[in-house]
Amino acid sequence: MNYLPCVEVQLNPQAEVVGSIIWLHGLGADGNDFVPVVRELHLPATLNLRFVFPHAASIPITINNGYVMPAWYDIYEMTLDRKIDTAQLCASAAQVHALIEREIERGVPSEKIVIAGFSQGGAVAYEAALSFTKPLAGLLALSTYFATHETIVENTANKNIPILIQQGSEDSVVSEVLGQRAYRQLTDRGYAVQYESYPMGHTLCGEQVVAISKWLQERF
What are the residue numbers of the active site? Answer: 119, 171, 202
- At residue 117, the 3 state secondary structure works out as strand
* 84 φ/ψ angles, rounded to the nearest 5 degrees: -130, 170
Three-class DSSP category at 19? strand
CA atoms of 173 and 84, how far apart (whole Å):
15
- H-state helical runs in the chain: 35-40, 86-105, 120-131, 176-188, 206-219
Count of CB atoms within 10 A of residue 60's CB?
Answer: 12
Can you give 43-59 as a three-state secondary structure string?
CCCCCCEEEEEECCCEE
Structural contact between residues 96 and 125, judged by C-beta atoms closer than 8 angstroms: yes
